[in-house]
Each structure stands twice: as C-alpha cells, then as structure tokens.
Chain A
Amino acid sequence: MAATAYKPSNSLLPGDEMLRRRYLAGRWLRYLALAFVVILALILLIPIVWMILGSFKIQRVALAYPPEIIPSNPVMDNWERLLIGRPSMRWLLNSLVVAGGIAIFGVITSTCAGYAFGKKDFPGRTIFFWMILMTMMLPRQIYIIPLFVLMKSLGWFNSYQGMIAPYIVYPFGVFLMRQYMQSIPDELLEAAKMDGASELQLFRHIVVPLSRPAIGAIAIFAFMAGWNDYLWQLVLATDELWLTLPVGVAKLTASGVGSIDIGVSMAGATFAVIPMLLIFLLFQNYFIKGITVGALKG
C-alpha cells in the first residue's frame, strides 16, 4: 500500500518542447474539466442552500414566483416552531445514540466477519456470505411485520436496543470489509503466524490496524444508514419522546389536511442535516485516505 499519495508530476524536464506543448494542452483541458466539476459540485449544493434559505421564509414568500432567492424579510418563526415546545433535542439525542450504536456494532461485526470471509477458507463461506448479501437486496418493508412481532415479545418498543438490533449486521460493511481483506497480502499474515502469534493476537495486532481506513469508512457509512433509516424507527417509536430526528421532523411538517408548511419543512430538514455535516467534516480524514477495496491485486 502506498503511504504517500500519488501526485502527477509537474516537473517535466525543461527543453523537451513536444512534451511541454502536450503538457500545456493537457493543462487547459484539465482546467476545463475542473471547471465542469466545480459547476457540478455547485449544482449538488443548490438543494442544500435552497433548503437553508427556505427555512427563513414564510409560506407566502416560499410560494412566490419569481422566487425571492434571499428572503427580503427573513423570519425565525419556522425555527421557533421547530425548537421550542418540541422535544427536538431529545430527538437529536435519540438519533445520535441509535446511529452511533449501529455504527459501533456495524464496525465490530463487519471487521470480524469480513476478515473470516476474506481471508479464511471454511465450509459454508459462500453460503453465509451470500445470505448476508441477499439482505441488501430486499426492501425492509418485507420483514417489518415479523420483526415487529419479535420486538413485541422482547418488549423492545420505544427503546434504543429495538432500533439498533436489526442493524447490528451491516451487510454493506461486511461486503466492503471482505473486499478490503482480500487486498491484504497473505504473506503478512503468514509471517505473523510463523512468529507464533495466536489467531486473536493476529487479528488484534495485524488485521485490525491494517483495516483502520476501512473501519473508518464503515463507521461513517453505517452511521449514515442508521441516521437515515425512517420506516423502522417510525413504526417502533409509539411515544413522541422516542422519535428520532428525521421522523420527528417529518411529523412536524405535516400539518393538517395534506398541506405542507414549506418553511417549517425546510427548517426541520436543515436541522436534521447539520449534525451529519459536522460529523462528515470532522471524521472524513479517518477514512478518505486509502480504503483500497482490493485495489492491489488487480
């Protein structure tokens, strides 16, 4: 694995006129392409910006055409309605605990299972792996009723464990870790074994440190999945205090006979996105560098 990131060389030998010209032409093309990517990135940000701006608009302004891009008369009403008199902070806490729990369990199960699937040979390997992968292919709607019955018998309505349990195994994580493990050279593990390391020592001192980037990625991806899970959290929380943030926010915005208060929706949406954005920006470096997904063995 390359520790240092690859940089295309800019240090062409001076005097090589043909190469230089080609380099310059390439550079202009690169700038053009970069400009395109910048525009694309900005387009992707438009909905987010529009959402934030919308959270300061009253309904009449929100529905005006031509639209007021920057609200000339920004109001805090939507935010007040969202934050005052509603247990929004409790919802935030619930979401953090549930998504955090899912991330922690996801990392543990993915690392252990991914290691076994990627590096060990045992009867049933393919079958077990495919069983997990298949659950990625089925919509959650299908097992919601049997799962609901199970939760009832466990008495896990309105509980963190009830919201976390179905996500203890994060199939995407298992899959990612399996691919990642396959990229670790066997020799590394063999060498450790030669030195007399036990299986657990091998796992703790070699496998886990090597998979740190993948662990970081899985933690974040699983956290997102837990944060964005809607249906299960909605069904399981019968008490307002146990709603998660996205579910609670969605409830706020549905006022009355199918009408939608756009400003409140947008404030709620913004409120639900902020923690995610912070987490991404804080932790991105943990996983950006080098999740290789089997790249070395090409």
Chain B
Amino acid sequence: MKHLQLLFVVAATLLLLLAPAQAQEPVTITYWTDPALAQPISLPQFTELAEFETWQAQQFMEMHPHVTIEVRGLDWPDLATVVPTALAAGDPPDILKDYLGRTSGYGVEGVTVDLFGHLPQEDIDDLLPGLVQLYTIDGALHAMPTYFWNHAMIVNKALFDQAGLGDMVPVDDRDWTFDDFYAAATAIKAADIGVEFPYTLQVASEQGDYDFHAFIWGAGGEIWNPDCTTGFDDPKTLAGLEFVNQLYQEGLINSDATTAAYADQTNNLFTGKSAIMGGGMGVLNNTIGNAIKNGEVTVDMDPVIVTYPHAEGEVSGLGVGPSGFAVFDKGRSDYEMEWVVKFLLFLNSSESQVTYTQNNSQFPARASAGVPLEEDANYALTLSLIQERGTENLGLACPGFYEVRISQPPHWQAMFLGQETPQQALEALNAESEFILDM
C-alpha cells in the first residue's frame, strides 16, 4: 500500500516534470527588420545592419531553447522589394519591423494578423491611444507600434552666433513665422561666414519629403486630408509650395536639391555650407552626434530644435512617424502563434522599447516605457512641443500612400528647375493622385 502511494507520487511528479517538456516542440520564427537602428549610441559594439536585433533574438533563444529565430536585416531599398515579393509568393516572414507607411499597405491588403485577437489586453492598453488608432485598419490592429520618430527643424545656432545673428534663432519659444525664417535665412547667407545655402533639403527621392512638406503644413495646407483624399487642390498647399520655391529660387536652399542624397544634406550641415536642416531627435543625437565623434563636422556645432516656420495665424505641428511589428498571416498553428506572440511581446516589451529608443533617440509607444532620455533637454523639449503644437497628418495609413509619395519628387524637381509653376505642379499631382487612388 505504501509502495503504491510512493509509486503514485513518483509517477505524478514525473508527469509534472515531463508535461512542460513535452509541450516544448521546436518552433522556428523568421524575423525581418529594417535598418532604423544605425550606430546605437550606448551599444557601440553593434555597427552593422541587424546586429542589435540578432543580439535580442539570441537572448530570447537562450531563455527558450526550443525556439529558433532567423533574423534578416533589410536595408531600405531591400525592404521595398524583398517583402512584397515574398508576400506575393506566399512566403512572408513571421514578424516584420518596418515603418507605418509600408506596414499599413500590407494591412489594407489584408495579409497581416489582427493583433487585437492575440495580444493581452494589458499590453494594448499600455500603447499610446493615438498610435493604436493609427494602427487600426478596418477594425484590425494590423501591427504593434513600437516607437515613433519626430520631425522638426535643426538649426546650427553656432553659425548664427558667429555672424552676430544669434537672436534671430527662436530659442525662447522655438517658433517662427515664414517672415522670421526668411529674414534669418537671408541674413545668414549675407553674413559671408561660408553659409551658401541656409536650408538644406533634397527632392531627389521621396526620402526627403518631410523636409519639404513641413512648409506646406506650416502654410496650413495638407498633402493628405484626414479622409485620405489628397490636399493638392488646397490653396494653402499652394501658398506653402510657393514659399519653398521662393527660397530655392533665391538661393536659400541648396542648389543641388534635385539630386542630393541624404549624405549631401548632412555634409552641407557638417561643413557649414548650410545652417538649418530638417530632422528630429534621431538626427540630433545619432546623425550629428556620431558625425562629431567621427570627425566629420568641420564647423562649430550647436544644434537646437525649433518647429518649422508657419504662415501668420497658423500653427506648425511636428511630423511624427511610428514604426511597428507586423505579424503576417501564414496559417500557423495555435502553438506556433503563441510563440510568435511571445517573441513579439519580448521584442516590444517596455524594457526593449527603452533600450531601443534610448539608442535611436526615438519615443516609445508604450506608456509604461516612460521618458527614456529624461536627462536630455532636447528630448523633453520635443515631447512638450508635440503636446503643445500637435502633430501633422503624414497620411501614412492611407491606401495609395507609397505611390502618391513617389509621384511627388518629379514635380518638386520640375518646379525648382523652372519647368513647372507651383500651380502647375499641384494640378499635375492632383490628377496623378486621382489616377493612383482610382486604380
């Protein structure tokens, strides 16, 4: 009798021990990531594409040895070709990290998993409500937002100080009108301290469009209306465009704007050929910070963040763009889905977001992640500017976003080159976007 009892206890213990082990069937998860985290500030050992993400995945695999994670880093051009191809061929990754402008397209097409049905409610509640709203397409959470970047203006105040024009930079309220901006730009160019093109931007590719759109927003115009129609027929859009065009024609914008790459823009800033460029915390801390470290900056650098200029009576909000993790629909088992979600929550935990955003100088999507760069005055300032001035509508989640986006640079180029008037450019774009959205 006693023996039997003992046997029973032993058997039960064995079963208990074995049960979880039996459940640990091997799982393979593919995780593709964008190159957003370049040269993390506090993790200098990671210098190459996807090294940080691979390190994250290794940590997860150490905790759960039955899980194999295949990480693939894709740079921006690759993201645009490899992912659509894989999707159309029916073989997407399990998890993709990319910015909203692209994941939303996948969401609209219905190839992503609705995360509302898979994420714990407490995690959804932890996400900033505005982001959840932005990520909800047809009632489904098409991806889980992880962080957002911001876009404002960065002014190298050192150059203005050097020219004795320091008081033209609005350091007190970080706010200026088109007239203020124009006066400052004209003055610094005239000051003959080597500033050839006060403001640097590029319209060679769609990558530079926020530097350009910000003037349109400042005039009260829109590229995308809230209902996802385009705002090219808005008279205020025209007003903003005319202002940018005036800046270019008067030599206040770099003359190679129609062909410049991002490296040309930053080089203009680093060598003092330009004193102002678009950008947010990421540009301020990572791009400029790393450039100073690498000895690429040849002038005094005192970058300050201000909002873009605006027309009298308008308010300049900030451009804000989120990135997130999309899970693609692959007909996986509940068990596999369970582990995909576990890995997703690991990647997008509060702690991960803090590490990530600290190194990338971005803003976390979880409320519980708090303010990762608390002691950074510019970081706090940016957050307060976002609260105070609001954000601009980038149209990232609109159907046709990508194609309308790439249809623009040719017309901005034509305008700068004097082949189209701002009015003609907008009329052409209006017709083109109608065609695109109709297709």
Contact = CB atoms under 8 A, between A and B. Distances in A.
A288 interface: no
Contact of B263 (A144, A235, A262): A262
A238 interface: yes
A85 B48 contact: yes
Nearest to B294: A59
Interface centre among A145, A149, A259 (most CB of B within 10 A): A259
B258 interface: no
B330 interface: no
A257 B262 contact: yes
Contacts of A63: 263, 267, 271
Given A81-B47, A149-B89, A239-B70, A256 B81 contact: no
Contacts of B47: 81
B282 A255 contact: no
Contact of B262 (A58, A85, A234, A259): A259
Interface string B195-235: 00000000001010000000000000000000000000000
Given A152-B90, A257-B38, A258-B207, A60 B261 contact: no
A254 interface: yes
Interface stretch (B19-27, B72-80, B134-142): B72-80
- Give the interface size bracket for A toward B: 20 to 34
A119 interface: no
Interface string B337-366: 000000000000000000000000000000
A259 B263 contact: yes
A85 B81 CA distance: 27
Contacts of A262: 263
A149 B90 contact: yes
Nearest to A65: B271
Contact of A258 (B49, B86, B262, B267): B262
Interface string A139-176: 00000110011001000000000000000000000000
Chain A facing B: main interface SS: helix
Interface in A55-91: 58-60, 63, 81, 85-86
B55 to A, nearest CB: 14
A252 interface: yes
B89 A255 contact: no
B38 A255 contact: yes
Interface in B30-87: 30, 35-36, 38-39, 47-49, 70, 72-73, 75-78, 81-82, 85-86
A58 B75 CA distance: 22
Interface centre among A85, A144, A239, A255 (most CB of B within 10 A): A255
A239 B72 contact: yes
A203 B296 CA distance: 64
B206 to A, nearest CB: 10
A259 B266 contact: yes
B89 A152 contact: yes
B38 A256 contact: yes
Interface string A204-245: 000000000000000000000000000100110011100000
Contact of B75 (A81, A148, A231, A251): A251
B262 A235 contact: no
Contacts of B286: 256
A199 to B, nearest CB: 42
A260 interface: yes
Given A149-B89, A251-B49, A258 B296 contact: no
B430 interface: no
A254 B77 contact: yes
Interface centre among B85, B261, B271 (most CB of A within 10 A): B85
Contacts of A85: 48
Contact of A234 (B70, B82, B88, B294): B82
B187 to A, nearest CB: 25
Contacts of A58: 294-296
A60 B91 contact: no
A256 B48 contact: no
Contact of A259 (B77, B271, B287): B287
B384 interface: no
B294 to A, nearest CB: 7
B70 A238 contact: yes
Interface in B77-134: 77-78, 81-82, 85-86, 88-91
A252 to B, nearest CB: 7
B361 to A, nearest CB: 12
18 contacts: A58-B294, A148-B85, A148-B88, A149-B89, A149-B91, A152-B89, A234-B82, A235-B85, A235-B86, A254-B35, A255-B38, A255-B49, A256-B39, A257-B207, A259-B266, A259-B287, A260-B262, A262-B263
Interface of A: 58-60, 63, 81, 85-86, 144-145, 148-149, 152, 231, 234-235, 238-240, 250-252, 254-260, 262
Interface of B: 30, 35-36, 38-39, 47-49, 70, 72-73, 75-78, 81-82, 85-86, 88-91, 205, 207, 261-263, 266-267, 270-271, 282-283, 286-287, 294-296, 298
